[in-house]
Amino acid sequence: MALTSKQRRHLRALAHHLAPVATVGVGGLSGPVIAKVNEELEHHELIKVKISPDAPQDKSESASTLADRTRAELVQVIGHIAVLYKARAKKPSIKLPKADKA
């Protein structure tokens, strides 16, 4: 599911007040980090992840890989913070604006 610009803008606004729930550190994208992010996505749907400057991969590359491994949408990377979104399988709580018709 690719997000439209309108949906990304909506999710960025919702994520503004959130604090990071996980950190990618020197160990990189290890199994426990992926598991923690998956768990938090299932619980919250929209999360922030801090990517340390000491992480082995570039912040954009780390965020993209993390989104792929968790099957989430990468909403934004700003500074060392990545915003990820993944709707819950049952009863999603975040309602996205409808996609624009082209």
Residue 90 pLDDT class (50, 70, 90 cuts): confident
Mean pLDDT value of segment 56-64: 93
Domain carrying residue 73: 5-85
Mean pLDDT value of segment 44-63: 93
Q: Is the pLDDT of residue 97 over 90?
A: no
Residue 21 dihedral angles phi and psi, to the nearest 5°: -105, -10
Residue 96 belongs to some domain of the structure: no
Residue 102 pLDDT class (50, 70, 90 cuts): low
Q: What is the pLDDT of residue 73?
A: 95
- Per-residue CA distances from 90 to 43, 87, 93, 94, 96 (Å): 11, 9, 9, 12, 15
Q: What is the pTM of this model?
A: 0.91
Mean pLDDT value of segment 70-98: 92
Residue 45 belongs to some domain of the structure: yes
The number of distinct structural domains making up the chain is 1
Name residue, tokens 């989430």: 72
Residue 53 belongs to some domain of the structure: yes
Residue 101 belongs to some domain of the structure: no
Residue 25 belongs to some domain of the structure: yes
